[in-house]
Amino acid sequence: MKTILFIIQKEFKQIFRDKSMLQLIFILPILQLLILSNAATFDVKNIAITFVDNNQSRESRELISAFDASTYFNVTESYFSENKAIEEMQKGKTDIIVNIPVNFNRNLQKDKKGSISVNINAIDAATAGVENVYVTQIVSAYNKNIQIQSKYISENKEVEQNIMVIPSFWYNNTLNYKTFMVPGILVLLVTMLTLFLSSMNIVREKELGTLEQINVTPIKKYQFIIGKLFPFWVLGLVILTVGLIISKVVFNVPMLGNILLVYGFTSIYLLLILGFGLFISNHTETQQQAMFIAWFFMVIFILMSGLFTPIESMPKWAQNITLLNPIRYFVEFIRMVLLKGSGFVEVLNNLLIVFGFAVVVNGLAVWSYKKTN
Amino acid sequence: MSISVQNISKSYKSIQAIDDVSFEVNEGELFGLIGPDGAGKTTIFRILTTLLLANEGNAKVLEFDVKQDYKAIRNSVGYMPGKFSLYQDLTVEENLTFFATIFGTTIEENYDLIEDIYVQIEPFKKRRAGALSGGMKQKLALCCALIHAPKVLFLDEPTTGVDPVSRKEFWQMLKRLQQKGITILVSTPYMDEASLCDRIALIQKGKILKIDSPSNIISKYDKVIYDIQSKNTHGLIHDLKNYSSHYSVYAFGEFIHYIDTNQNFNPNDLQDYLQQKNHTQIIIKPAQTTIEDVFMDL
C-alpha cells in the first residue's frame, strides 16, 4: 500500500512538473467543449433557394414569399429558364431549385392539386435531407393556407378533414441541439483525454528506459499499474467536473438526474478506458505508436457512438459493432440521466455492460503486462 | 559463488546475441565483461537481472535461479543499465527517495553505503536529474542502484560517455564498494579499465574467448610486441603490412604495434627495411603487452 501511494505521489509530481502539459490537459478540453458545442449543430441555415416561376400568378408568388419569410431560406434571383437555374447550382450559388409549372394556379383551383418540382443539391446527403424536410414543411403550411382560403370561397362545400399532427418533444421540448450535444461532447473529451494520457504514460517509461530500472525492483505488477493509472483516474473525474460546470453555467444544460450517479458511472467507465490505455501501452514500443493506435480507436468510437449519426440509422452490422463501443453506453447514459432524470434502475443495463467491459479489458491488460521478456 | 552462468544462449529472431556462455563470479569479486559494442554484454546483464529469459542454459545469482526465483533476485541485486534510466523530471533527492521506498527502505538506513558517492552530488540534490552532467548522472544512478544494500551489483557500461577523470573516480568508488563485500559484475568496452578488475571475461560476437585475471592474461601471452614509430605514420603501417614476415600491425596510441611471425625476429632487419623505404626517425623497441593486444589477437 505504501508503495502504491508512493508511486501515485511520484506520478502526480511528474504531471504537475510538466507545466505546459498541465495547461494542455485542462485548457484544451474546455476550449473544445466551448467551440464544438457551438459548432456541432444539426440546424441548416442560410439555404440559397432559386425559383423558376413559369406561372407568374398570385399563387406562385405566395409560395415564393412563404419561403422568403422563413429564416432558413435566402431566396436568390428567379429565372425563367430551368437550365439557367441549373447553371447556378453548378456554380454552387444555389442549393435548391423549385420549378413552378405553367398551369400551377389553374390546377390548384380546378383539381385542388398542384405539383412543383424541387431539385436539391445532395453533395452533402445529411444537409440535403434536412433541407428536404424544411421545404416539405413550408409547402404543407402553404397547402393548409390554400385549403382554408378555398374553404372560405366555397363555404357550402364539404372539405376533406385533414388529420392534424402536433408533435410534442419530450425531455428537450425546444429541440435545443446544445442540450443534446454538450453532454455527448463532454463524454468524448473525458474519454479522449484519459485514453491518450494513459496509453502514452507507461510506454513513455519504456521509451526513456526507466521501466527497465523499475522492472528490476521487487515492485509488484498490480502496485505499479494502480500507481500509474490512479492519477489519470482522478484527472478524468476532474475534467468531468469542469465539463459539467461549463455545461451548466455556459450552456444551461438541464441536470435532472442524480449527479452522484454520473460520478459513480464515470468512475467505472474510467477504469475501462484506463485499462484500454494500458493495453495499448503494453503492445507498443514508442509514444508515437501508442498515439496512433489510440487515435485509430478513438475515431471509430466517436463516429460510431451515436453522437453525430444516430445508431438507429446505421446498417445492421454497424449497429452490432457499436455494441462494443464504450462511448455509446456513456453517451446514452449521460443523456438519460441529465436530460431525462433517469435513476439507477433505468441505467443499470449500461452500468453493467461498462462494468463487464472494464473487468475484461483490465484483465487482458494486466495479463499482457510483463516485467520480463 | 555469487553468480554462476552455465551454457546460456539467447537469440533475437535470426541474430544470435550470446552463444553458449558460461562463467562464474566469486563472492566479493570485481568481475569484468570486456568486449566491443554488440558483443552481447547487455544481453547477459538482462538475463542475470531477470529482465530477459534465455533460450537455453541455466543461470544463478546468489544461488537463486533466474527463472524460478526471480523475485528473490530482484530484492537483492542492484542494476545500473547502460542507458541513463532514472526519472529526468524528478530531482536527485526525489529519485533516490523513490528507489529507496520501492525497495522498502529509506535513505538513512543505508546511508553509510552511498555516503562517499552521495556527498559529491548532494550540492545538486534539488536539481532535476535530467539537468545533471554525465558524470553526476552516473553517480546518482549508482546511488539508486545501491540504496537497498544489494549483495550483487550489475553495472552495464557505467563509464561510457563519461570524462576520463570521472571514469577514474568511478573505478575508485567500485573498489571501495568491493571492500564492503559487494560482488560486482561490470561491463566495459574500454580495455584500459579491464586491468582494474579481479578477473575478466573477454567476449566477442556472443562468445566468451578467455576468462582469467588481467595479469595472467597478459603474462600468458607468448608473442613479443614491438612499438614502432617513424615520421610518416600512415606510410609506416602500409610498409609494415608489406613486410614479408609480419603477423599483425595496428595503431596503438602514438606507436604502431608490430608482431612478427618469426621467433628469431631481429629488429635490425626491420630497421634496414624501413630505411630502404625512406622512413626517418625510426624507433623500434619491445612493448608492454596490454589486454587490448591480447584482445586484438583473439
Chain B residue numbers with beta carbons less than 8 Å from the beta carbon of A208 are 85, 88
Please tell me the distance in Å from B65's CA to the nearest CA on chain A: 14
Please tell me the distance in Å from B145's CA to the nearest CA on chain A: 9
Q: Helix A104-111 crosses helix A58-69 at what angle (to 10 degrees)?
A: 100
When pLDDT is averaged across residues B163-176 and rounded to a whole number, the result is 88
Please tell me the distance in Å from B21's CA to the nearest CA on chain A: 19
Give tens-digit pLDDT for B61-83.
Answer: 998 998 888 888 988 999 999 88
- With a cut of 90, say whether residue B32 has pLDDT above it: yes
The answer, for B71 touching chain A at a CB cutoff of 8 Å, is yes
Chain B residue numbers with beta carbons less than 8 Å from the beta carbon of A218 are 71, 74-75, 102-104
A178 and A257 Cβ atoms separated by less than 8 Å: no
C-alpha R_g of chain B: 23
Q: Do A210 and B79 touch (CB under 8 A)?
A: no
- With a cut of 80, say whether residue B4 has pLDDT above it: yes
Q: What integer pLDDT is reported at residue A298 of this predicted model?
A: 93
Q: What integer pLDDT is reported at residue A186 of this predicted model?
A: 92
Give tens-digit pLDDT for A9-64.
Answer: 999 988 888 888 888 888 888 898 888 888 877 677 788 888 888 888 888 888 88
Q: Which is higher by pLDDT, A2 or A262?
A: A262
Chain B residue numbers with beta carbons less than 8 Å from the beta carbon of A209 are 81, 83-85
Of A37-41, A288-292, A352-356, B177-181, the range with the lowest mean pLDDT is A37-41
- With a cut of 60, say whether residue A118 has pLDDT above it: yes
| Residues in Cβ contact with A7 at an 8 Å cutoff, skipping those fewer than 6 apart | A219, A223, A224, A226, A227, A228, B102
The answer, for B55 touching chain A at a CB cutoff of 8 Å, is no
Q: Which residue of A has its CA nearest to B94?
A: A10
- With a cut of 70, say whether residue A159 has pLDDT above it: no
Q: What integer pLDDT is reported at residue A20 of this predicted model?
A: 83
Q: What pTM was estimated for this model as a whole?
A: 0.77
- With a cut of 90, say whether residue B186 has pLDDT above it: yes
Q: What integer pLDDT is reported at residue A371 of this predicted model?
A: 66
- With a cut of 50, say whether residue B237 has pLDDT above it: yes
- DSSP 8-state class, residue B85: -
Q: What integer pLDDT is reported at residue A111 of this predicted model?
A: 75
**pLDDT band per the 50, 70, 90 thresholds, residue B5:** very high
Domains of chain B (ranges, CATH numbers):
3-219 (3.40.50.300), 225-296 (3.30.70)
Find the CB nearest B74 among A10, A17, A216.
A216
When pLDDT is averaged across residues B139-147 and rounded to a whole number, the result is 91
Please give the mean pLDDT across all residues of chain B: 88
Domains of chain A (ranges, CATH numbers):
2-40+174-368 (no CATH), 47-153 (3.40.1710.10)
- What is the predicted ipTM? 0.77
The answer, for B90 touching chain A at a CB cutoff of 8 Å, is yes
Neighbours of A284 (CB within 10 A): 21
Strand order in the sheet with B64-65: B15-25, B3-12, B56-61, B64-65
Please tell me the distance in Å from A220's CA to the nearest CA on chain B: 10
Residues 96-135 of B with CB under 8 A from A: 98-99, 101-104
